Amino acid sequence: MNRKFVRGVGAALAGMLLLAACRAPANSGAPTAAGGSAAPIKLILGAYTTPREAYGELLPLFAAQWLAQTGQTVTFEESYLGSSAQSRAVVEGFEADVVALSLETDVTRIVNAGLITHDWKAAPYDGIVSDSVVAFAVRAGNPKNVQDWADLGQAGLEILTPNPQTSGGAMWNILALYGAALRGQVAGVAANDDAAAQAFLEAVLRNVTVLDKGARESIVNYESGVGDVAITYENEVLTGQQAGQDYELVIPTSSILIQNPAAVVDTYVDKHGTRAVAEAFVAFLATTEAQRIFAKHGLRSPDPVVQGETAGQYPAVADQFDINFFGGWAEATPKYFDAEHGLYYAAIAAAQGQ
């Protein structure tokens, strides 16, 4: 190739890269070595869609506390996406310092990518910062009389639930259904019968009208008048009610305890020099004060003190189980959600007559 040609190519590439680099935001990161008032620091939070309002209150509170403690100003950059989408984004290069996701398996993905290297489960409550349960949102007055799982299979009912491929909430929903069925808590479905549970899931999936990308999008869609029932996080319903929506919350007899983890992302905090703040923030989330704020925004708490305080707000589920019923996410994810062999995907295909 001609030398001039190569020069032209080189100039073009350099120019474009320069242009791109100019746009990269200046990342102020490292606080000065000695304590005391240091340069302002930015913490990047990657969260799932649902706890948006809770973090809206938690972040300023933490910032105020950190300022009082260390004299350093911390600002936050937040991203709220479907839990799986968020987890993937972090793996693909979204440099979140802290992740707060819907389910453990999304944190595991980040661990497997080598970005989280510490034992995040060693934190209080096994790294869980908030809980919820799978519940239903129904129209005011519950016109379709949806009281429990079995009612979801009735013909002509329109159900909203998010897409498990992108939404953590959707995965909780599906597992709650399976669990309830396998535990014999669904009228008409035999206990411990895999085939019966699968058939029940198919029946319910046949009634699903829309699969939204995230739990929040799903409930917002429900709010615009679509569908009769939305299977969702209890806290989504409560937050919606707090925002003035007039739907009702129905907690089924049997439901799964949703446990939402949060963790520091080692690679990025070391890169940004934000480890101290990040660790303090995650520790803050486990404090009773923060837990009370979660509870204020519709989330249950792993903190026994707060549990006691909010017992009236958050009635116990008659038959509550958790992910361990399925042998943990390590077993549940491949069994139910593997793209080729997962039982959920088999069910959705069967529901459409495939």
CB contact at 8 A, 284 and 65: yes
If the CB atoms of residues 85 and 257 are measured against another protein, the closer one turns out to be 85
If the CB atoms of residues 36 and 93 are measured against another protein, the closer one turns out to be 93
- Count other Cβ atoms within 10 Å, centred on residue 38: 17
Q: Please, what's the largest Cα pairwise distance for the chain?
A: 79
Q: How far is the CB of 285 from another protein (least distance, A)?
A: 19
If the CB atoms of residues 26 and 68 are measured against another protein, the closer one turns out to be 26
Q: How far is the CB of 8 from another protein (least distance, A)?
A: 3
Residues within the interface to another protein (CB under 8 A): 2, 4-9, 11-13, 16-17, 19-21, 23-25, 44, 49, 52, 77-82, 84-86, 88-89, 91-95, 113, 158, 163, 165-166, 208-214, 216-217, 220-221, 223-227, 243, 337, 339-340, 345, 348-349, 351-354
Q: Which residues contact 238 (CB under 8 A, 6 or more apart)?
A: 249, 297, 298
Q: How far is the CB of 324 from another protein (least distance, A)?
A: 24
CA distance 162 to 168: 9
SS3 sequence of 171-209: HHHHHHHHHHHHCCCCCCCCCCCHHHHHHHHHHHHHCEE
**Burial bucket for residue 289 (CB in 10 Å: 0-12, 13-18, 19+):** middle
If the CB atoms of residues 267 and 320 are measured against another protein, the closer one turns out to be 267
CB contact at 8 A, 82 and 49: yes
- Fill in the DSSP letter of residue 300: B
If the CB atoms of residues 159 and 182 are measured against another protein, the closer one turns out to be 159
Q: How far is the CB of 333 from another protein (least distance, A)?
A: 10
Q: How far is the CB of 1 from another protein (least distance, A)?
A: 8
Q: How far is the CB of 9 from another protein (least distance, A)?
A: 4
If the CB atoms of residues 163 and 259 are measured against another protein, the closer one turns out to be 163
Q: How far is the CB of 14 from another protein (least distance, A)?
A: 10
Q: How far is the CB of 306 from another protein (least distance, A)?
A: 26
CB contact at 8 A, 291 and 306: yes
CB contact at 8 A, 269 and 97: yes
Helices 343-351 & 194-206, crossing angle to 10 degrees?
50
262 bridge partner residues: 100
Cα radius of gyration rounded to whole Å, the chain: 23
If the CB atoms of residues 91 and 199 are measured against another protein, the closer one turns out to be 91
If the CB atoms of residues 13 and 305 are measured against another protein, the closer one turns out to be 13
- Count other Cβ atoms within 10 Å, centred on residue 7: 10
If the CB atoms of residues 33 and 340 are measured against another protein, the closer one turns out to be 340
Q: How far is the CB of 290 from another protein (least distance, A)?
A: 21
- Count other Cβ atoms within 10 Å, centred on residue 207: 20
CA distance 211 to 193: 27
Three-state SS at 47: strand
Tokens at residue 288, please? 């009773």
